[in-house]
Structure 1
Amino acid sequence: MIVGTQGRWPGRRLGVAAVALLVLGGVLSCVGGLGGYFFMPTRVMPSDHMRPSHPAGGSMVFNLLVTGVDRGDVVLFDAGAWGERHLSVERAVAVGGDRIAYTPGDRTLTLNGKPLDEPYVLNGDPVAGSPGAFSVKVPEGRLFVLGDNRGNSADSRYRFDVAEGGTVPVSAVKGALIDEDAPVVVGLRSALPLGGGLLLPGAVSGVAALRLRRRAVAAAAPTAYTVPVPGV
């Protein structure tokens, strides 16, 4: 084994640094790529039914690792519960056990008998487009969902004939909206380029360490020589 003056093979420290950079870069790239983009993807809002909060063409980041849904959450869900084959985006206004109701002439919906404050709806009109009176006791494990643009949203109010009270199951929820400036999103997405930036110097360091070792091995190899033959 070829060693240096301190009992270590040449380029050892450089090789250790290379391994550390490659491992750290790989971990950061995987965490950033999976966490920041695969499990928290950016979607484009396809229609105006969530205006003014989320207009058509706007970007939305969804956390696909969501474990529960609260009132007011904007969710991405499988519209198969409504007999449709696509993903939809709506706001959950009532959860299992709630009673959501509307009486024509009222200026708001009521949640569990009290006026529901919805500052996010378009033009401050939460009852726009309501097809008529309704009173729904949301089954456990289901959600009553509405668009923020109530005058242009084919939401739970129009699904009474295809689902339980127009609701969707929590199990159909694929993700919940998360602020794209949230620390967890920024941190994870920053990890990807940081990890990528460590991989290159790690690879360069690894190549340099390997070359140093090969040169040391070559320099320490015994010199070949020939024995002269008498009379030749």
Structure 2
Amino acid sequence: MVREGSSIDKALAVLEAVAERHRVTDIATATGVSKSTVHRILQSLVEWGFARPDGAGGYEPGPRILTLAGKVMSRFDPARQASAALRALHDRTGYTTHFAVRSGDEAVYVDKLEGRRPYQMHSRVGMSLRLHCTAIGKAILAALTDDEVLAIAARTRLQPRTAATLTSDEDLLTHLAAVRARGFAIDDEENEPGVRCVAAAVFDHSGDVLGGISVSALAMDASRETLEALGPEVVAAAREVSQALGAPLGLASNR
């Protein structure tokens, strides 16, 4: 619903509604805008190329939306969109923070802020990470279906990195169910001995998982309980990034 009397809000609400609804009556119901006003706005959108008649008495998105979207996406940098939330998370926790994006059966760090600690983490921008044994990786896997997870597991073979690495399909699926339930994933020395991380998934404009944000520290500096307590903060930061990337409103950090 839009604010009463705001013509710009009404026009934007109608434009957004056209993406999912075609009939004037349905658009009016979804937006709370009168049918006469919806019809008038649609005529303007057609003139501008942002909508077009669908041939069945309704309307659909016009070609200018694709043109505009193409121009925007050509300049779209996920790392830049995530930088403010990543910096805020870093400043609040004092630990190293990462943003990584999925690339096939792995993820790649695209941003890192070193923590305010007397040590540095081994990670670096451009480094790839496995999905089954890292916090960001497991947050990504938890946003996929079990069938998708099993397909990835079959290709990567769930190679052990430490004694704590999950290496069986059954254990991984059980673990991911718990990740989905709480909304964040923890790497408890599963990828590198002496290192713990907590992460939450980041989603893109289509609602698909794009990557994840994490907080990392040496195990001697951050207990598992400490990272569990930080989980909600990481989830909130990931949700902020998802929204900056255009993810559907109300989308949780893990589905």
- Does 1 or 2 have the higher relative contact order (CA < 8 Å, sep 6+)? 1
Tell me the TM-score range normalised by the shorter chain.
under 0.3
TM-score normalised by structure 1 residue count: 0.22
Structure having the larger proportion of residues in helix: 2
